[in-house]
Chains A and B, each alone.
Chain A
Amino acid sequence: MFAVIARNKKASIYIFALAAALVLVSLVVGLSATIMQFRRNSRTNTEIDRAKIYAELGVRHALYFTSVEPNWRSLLQSGTWLQDIPIDNATYTVTGTDPDDGSLLDGDEFIVELSCTAKINLTQQTLSVLTQNYPSELLKYAVAADGLLKISDRVQINGNAFTNDSIDKKNADTWIFGNAQAVGIIHEVRNITGIIAPGSDPKSFPDDQAIIDFYLTQSTPIPFQEHIQKVLITPNSNPYGPTNPDGIYSIDCANQRIEIRDCRIFGTLVLINPKSDSTIGEGMNWQPGKPNLPALIIDGPIEIRTTINLDEDHCDTDFNLPHEPGFDDNNDIFLNKITGPIFCRGDLTISQRSKIVGPVIVTGALEVKHDAEITADSQFYDQPPKMFMDSRLDLIPHTWR
């Protein structure tokens, strides 16, 4: 009996030691596990944050592509644009889709959804955003040329001037009341009231083929006339054929000389392939038939050289619209003025006393000389003509998810 009691008491010290060991080991293991779990969570949270940043940068990568490749809509298909791009220890994949019909080819005004999935180790994050094309920044300028911009004599540019080439400004009495920006050099910097910026970043121009194709499609053809003069052209008046409800008319010059003079045009003219000595001159009073249309689209070279106000008496023509005062008499004088965007694929010369309000956008060289005056008007950016859009995509605010 005593021996049994003694053995039990002997065992109790081992049990106590073992129990203490167990408690200690459990404590240590538990603490280690807690710390490791905390560490894992912390690392995962960091990876989630980093993956979100990579996903956002992936979207930027896709936006960048649209900014440097104007033809991205025809080069890319709806679907994956960038596949497993590696950066650091992460990768990202970007998709671009048209949420409406799945096709990217149906025009600049359609929304594109960009979605980027970034992966770091086992962590994956996806961000999506809606994007669209915005009006071309060049609509804010008075003059914008992809080629050389020559300004001379007593020219007055009221607004900013930009060229992807150089600005060749001659004679001290030539003014730019705004910024002068050129990717190349600016020759002669006197009388520039704003920032003078040679070496500027290049800018992309609207898609010239898309503009010409679109407005040709919308236009009513006028048979080629060597001289278009002393006529009123509006959505309701076309002396050369049927009318167009938007006042958009096109003339295929087939490389022949055309002269347009002493006209009042309340519409849009699309001139295709004029011979290089073609002119728009004398008295011209011109504005688009609708606020969000251009005044003139030219596929080829031409010179605008208006000189005088448009005088009904001198032209022996009534240029008034039926609802305007002065209709049915020849006593009115209309200002020598072209209002509305002018887009030229080719070289354009503006001379004499031409007065233009609105951006003049030229894909070739632009020469402005003599007493010509060109004034920027922001309304053409606020109400941009169709197809005068930046080719690049930009975000629609508040659409991240």
Chain B
Amino acid sequence: MMLRSSFQPGLSYVEVLLAAVILSILIAAATQLFGNLARSQTIITDQDGAEFLALEMTREITRRYYADPDLNRVLGVEADEIGPDRGLWDDLDDYHKLKNCPPVDRWNTPYKNLAHLTRSVDVQYVAANDFTQIVVDDQGFRAVTITVSDGAKILTQHTYVIPNITPPYYVTR
């Protein structure tokens, strides 16, 4: 009878402790992993938002004239194009040095959830035979660089080279 009681079925303290340690480690690791996943999801959301903002601006700019169609043109936004939004902007250099934080669409409506991002545009002449070469004179090509950043961190940067087709080639005749 005594012998039987020394083999009492059930869990020893050591066994319970071991199991508890294993589970604790697992839960801690999982918590950290989920935290990381949540953080990376935020980064991904920002990244996707940045790509969206860059593409949206690209589509807007590539529909504009290479140079202002008015004969009395100036570099930058012409006097008759100044307004509450970008609705009157009609050529590429109107966008030069544009910087928005929060980013806004053509009609000045801010993008919700992306208000912490900054979108900027740079327009330069590039050499006809080397699009990486910035030049001062017009050789028929303008490089448009769109940058979306979160503070000092650049999330995405797109560069497109737009040739001088005037009037815009997409106009239906």
A binds B: yes
Chain B contact residues, majority secondary structure: mixed
A184, chain B: closest CB distance, angstroms: 14
Residue in A closest to B157 when the chains form the complex, CB atoms: A88
A80, chain B: closest CB distance, angstroms: 17
Q: Are A397 and B172 in contact (CB under 8 A)?
A: yes
Among the listed B19, B159, B160, B161, which residue makes an inter-chain contact with A14, where contact means beta carbons less than 8 Å apart? B19
- At the interface with chain B, which of A49-57, A164-172, A291-299? A49-57
| B162-173 contact mask (Cβ, 8 Å, vs A): 1 or 0 | 111110011011
Residue in A closest to B159 when the chains form the complex, CB atoms: A88
Q: In the complex, which residues of chain B have a beta carbon less than 8 angstroms from the beta carbon of A197?
A: 71-72
Among the listed A3, A17, A49, A50, which residue makes an inter-chain contact with B19, where contact means beta carbons less than 8 Å apart? A17
Residue in A closest to B156 when the chains form the complex, CB atoms: A46
B91, chain A: closest CB distance, angstroms: 13
Q: Say yes or no for A395: interface residue by CB 8 A criterion.
A: yes
Q: Are A49 and B55 in contact (CB under 8 A)?
A: yes
How far apart are the CA atoms of A62 and B30 in the complex, in Å? Answer: 55
Number of interface residues of A (CB under 8 A): 48
Q: Are B22 and A17 in contact (CB under 8 A)?
A: yes
How far apart are the CA atoms of A31 and B48 in the complex, in Å? Answer: 19
How far apart are the CA atoms of A31 and B164 in the complex, in Å? Answer: 48
B interface, CB within 8 angstroms of A: 4, 7-12, 15-16, 19, 22-23, 26-27, 29-30, 33-34, 37, 40-41, 44, 48, 51, 55, 58-59, 62, 67, 71-72, 131-132, 140-141, 158-166, 169-170, 172-173
A interface, CB within 8 angstroms of B: 2-3, 5-6, 9-10, 13-14, 16-17, 20-21, 24, 27-28, 31-32, 35, 38-39, 42, 46, 49-50, 53-54, 56-57, 60-61, 63-64, 67-68, 85-88, 134, 179, 181, 195, 197, 200-201, 394-395, 397
Q: A56-B62, A201-B166 are in contact. List 7 more A-B contacts (CB 8 A).
A: A2-B4, A2-B9, A17-B23, A35-B40, A53-B58, A57-B163, A60-B163
